[in-house]
Structure 1
C-alpha cells in the first residue's frame, strides 16, 4: 500500500554511463518507453555534464525561507516560513523533467571504474545503480554496504534489464520521496495532514492511474492536488475534511450564500471550485451552480469529500510543457547523436 502522498512528483531523467556505445544503444531499445534518459559512453564526459548542472530548480519562490515578520527577539528560536503556493508553481518550470535522479553506471571502464565515478558525483541526492560482472561483485557488495551506491545489478543475468527497469522506478520514487519529505513532515499538523493518510494515499494513487497522471503538486486554496497527464491535460483534485468543509460553509454564510448552495455543500454530493476567489464563496454570487463539481466521500483516518475538476480555470496552465513533448525532444537528440545519417 502507498504510505503517503508526495507533496510534489514529476518524471525525472536517468543517466546511463558505459564505455560501450553498442551496449548503450542496445539497452536503449529495452528500457521503459516512458523513461527519460541520457546516454554517455565516456565517464569523464558524463561527470562533466552531471557536476556542471545547477541544483534542482525549486522555482523563483523558495518553498522554505527565514520567517522575517516576527516579534520574537530570542535568536535561539529559529522560525522558518513555508510557501505552500510555491509547490504548485513548480509545474510552470519547463526544466523540471531535466532533473537527474538516477545514474546507472558500468563498473569496469577504462577511464575510471563505476565506484570511483559514484564518489566523484557532486549531487549526493542522486541515486546510484552499478552494473557489475561476476569478477566485480564483491566490490559492488562492499560499496553497497558502505552506502556509496544504492543498488548493484549483475550485468550478465538473463533478467538484468527487467531488474534494472524495476530498480530505476524504485530509485526515482525514493529520490522524489526524499525531496518532498521535509515539506510533508512540516505539513503533518496542518490541514494538509491528509498527505500522510496511507489509506487515502492508496485511493489517490488509483485516481492517478485511472487518469494517466505523470506529475502532481500540492495545491493551495482550494486544498488538494494539481495533477497533469503525459499530454499536458490538467486536473485539480479538491480534497476537504469535515473541518475544512465547515470553514468553506462558514465563509459562504458570511457572504450571504443561498440555502440551495448550503444544502448542496452539506449533502457531500458536490464541491465548489470558486477559482476567482481562491476557493471561497464570492460576494454577491447568484449563479453558483456552474462552480460545482461532482464529489465523492472516502473514509481513511478521517472522512474526506473530494472532487476532480478537469482543466481547472485560473491556474495559467495553457503554456505547460507536457512530459510527452519532453520525451519526444529527448528521443530526437538521442537519434541525432547515436544514429547519425
Structure 2
C-alpha cells in the first residue's frame, strides 16, 4: 500500500504463472508465499485466452462508479456533474469472483510458438503487471522489453535467490494494479468528506491498523465515512473517521433532533465517535440506549485534525454469505489436488 495515500478499496488478487515446463511450475508452486492466490498455465495460448476473456471483469469497478448526474439543470449546457456511486464499493465484498482477477502475470521467456515478450505484448488489460523470467542469454531482450514498458520486472532463473526475488517482486508490484485503476477515484474523493484518503499522516496510521488487525481487504464506506476492513477469515472491522467539521455537524444534527443534554455534552467533548448505524450515522430519538452506540475516539493530526474509532463486527453490514479469502485459498487448493 502506498504510504502517502489510502486506496478507496483493496482485495487480494490472483497471480498467473506461465511456463511450458510442468516440472518448473510444480516446483515453483511449492515455494510461493502460502497466502498468495495463483494459477499455473503450461500453455501460453490457454493463458492468453483466459486473460483476454470477456468473462474476467472487462470493465473495472472504478469505471462503473462514475456516471453523468441526471438531476442537473439542462439549461446549463456548459456544466457537467459527475455522480459517484460510493455504495457500490463495499458491495464488491459480496462478489465471490473478486479474488479471481489477475493482477500479475509471471511468464517464462523461452516458450514454444510464443516467447514471453510476445505474450506480454498480447495482453489486452493494461492494468495487469508483468514479470518476465529469463535466462542469461535473454537478458538483453528483457532489458529492451522493460525499457519499452512491456514488463515491470525481469528475473533471472539461474540466480540462487530467484524465488525469493520473485516473491518480493510480486508483493511490491501487485498493489499497482489497484493504484492505477483508482487514481481518478482517489482524486475525486479528496475534495469531499473523504479527505483522509490523501492525508499522509492518516495513511501511515491506517497502515498500522491494517497490520494490527491482519486485514487483507478493505472498502470505502460512507454514512458514516470510513473503511470496512476484513481479515482472511472474515472478521470485520469498521474504521469510522471524522474530521473537525464532521464532528461539528454530528453535534448540530443531534441538537436539532433534541438529543439528551448528556449526549450533547459527550459529543462536544470529542472523546467519542458515534456509530448510529440504523440511521446512516445520524442521531435520531430512536436511540434511547444511545450510550451503546458511542465508541472511544483516537485523535490524529494530519493536514487537519481527525478522530477515528474501530468497531469490531459492525452491525449494518450483512456479511453472512460472503466468501472470504481463507475459504477462497482452500477452494484453490482443492481444485489443484483434483487436477482442475
Q: Would you call these one fold, judging by a TM-score over 0.5? A: yes
Q: For residue 21 of structure 1, what is the aligned residue in structure 2?
A: 22
Shift in CA distance, 273/56, structure 1 to aligned 2, threshold 3 Å = farther
Q: For residue 236 of structure 2, what is the aligned residue in structure 1?
A: 234
Gaps of 5+ in 2: none
User: Contact 1:31 / 1:165 at 8 angstroms: preserved in 2?
Assistant: yes
- Rounded to whole Å, the distance in 1 between the matches of 2:134 and 2:292 is 59
Total equivalences in the alignment? 338
Q: For residue 192 of structure 1, what is the aligned residue in structure 2?
A: 194
CA displacement 1:53-87 (0-9 Å, x = unmatched): 33256569931112111114454543321112221
Please report how far the alpha carbon of residue 176 of structure 1 lies from its aligned counterpart in structure 2 after TM superposition.
1.1
Q: SS of the residue aligned with 1:207?
A: helix
Q: For residue 208 of structure 1, what is the aligned residue in structure 2?
A: 210
- Rounded to whole Å, the distance in 1 between the matches of 2:200 and 2:164 is 28
Match of 1:84 among 55, 63, 86: 86
Q: For residue 271 of structure 2, what is the aligned residue in structure 1?
A: 269
Q: SS of the residue aligned with 2:39?
A: strand
Q: SS of the residue aligned with 2:15?
A: strand
Is 1:333 the counterpart of 2:335? The answer is yes
CA displacement 1:256-304 (0-9 Å, x = unmatched): 1112112222223221111100001013532201111122111122111
Match of 1:225 among 200, 224, 227: 227
- Rounded to whole Å, the distance in 2 between the matches of 1:285 and 1:3 is 38
Q: For residue 48 of structure 1, what is the aligned residue in structure 2?
A: 49
Shift in CA distance, 300/283, structure 1 to aligned 2, threshold 3 Å = same
Gaps of 5+ in 1: none
Q: For residue 291 of structure 1, what is the aligned residue in structure 2?
A: 293
Shift in CA distance, 133/55, structure 1 to aligned 2, threshold 3 Å = same
Q: For residue 146 of structure 2, what is the aligned residue in structure 1?
A: 144
CA displacement 1:126-167 (0-9 Å, x = unmatched): 111100100111001001101111111111111111111111
Please report how far the alpha carbon of residue 309 of structure 1 lies from its aligned counterpart in structure 2 after TM superposition.
0.4
User: Contact 2:229 / 2:238 at 8 angstroms: preserved in 1?
Assistant: yes
Q: CA RMSD in A?
A: 1.7
Match of 1:243 among 242, 245, 249: 245
User: Contact 1:38 / 1:334 at 8 angstroms: preserved in 2?
Assistant: no
Q: SS of the residue aligned with 1:290?
A: helix
Q: What TM-score results when the alignment is normalised by the length of structure 2?
A: 0.95
Shift in CA distance, 123/36, structure 1 to aligned 2, threshold 3 Å = same
- Rounded to whole Å, the distance in 1 between the matches of 2:323 and 2:307 is 31
User: Contact 1:18 / 1:43 at 8 angstroms: preserved in 2?
Assistant: yes
- Rounded to whole Å, the distance in 2 between the matches of 1:57 and 1:326 is 23
Q: SS of the residue aligned with 2:249?
A: helix
Q: For residue 326 of structure 2, what is the aligned residue in structure 1?
A: 324
Match of 2:312 among 307, 310, 313: 310
Please report how far the alpha carbon of residue 205 of structure 1 lies from its aligned counterpart in structure 2 after TM superposition.
0.7
Q: For residue 183 of structure 2, what is the aligned residue in structure 1?
A: 181
Shift in CA distance, 260/182, structure 1 to aligned 2, threshold 3 Å = same
Q: For residue 12 of structure 1, what is the aligned residue in structure 2?
A: 13
User: Contact 1:151 / 1:167 at 8 angstroms: preserved in 2?
Assistant: yes
Match of 2:105 among 103, 121, 126: 103
- Rounded to whole Å, the distance in 2 between the matches of 1:314 and 1:287 is 17
Match of 1:65 among 47, 64, 67: 67
CA displacement 1:20-41 (0-9 Å, x = unmatched): 1100101111111100000001
CA displacement 1:184-241 (0-9 Å, x = unmatched): 1001111111100011101111001100100001101000000000001111000001
User: Contact 1:57 / 1:95 at 8 angstroms: preserved in 2?
Assistant: no
- Rounded to whole Å, the distance in 2 between the matches of 1:39 and 1:235 is 34
Q: SS of the residue aligned with 1:65?
A: strand
Please report how far the alpha carbon of residue 248 of structure 1 lies from its aligned counterpart in structure 2 after TM superposition.
0.8
- Rounded to whole Å, the distance in 2 between the matches of 1:108 and 1:307 is 52
Is 1:127 the counterpart of 2:129? The answer is yes
- Rounded to whole Å, the distance in 2 between the matches of 1:73 and 1:87 is 32
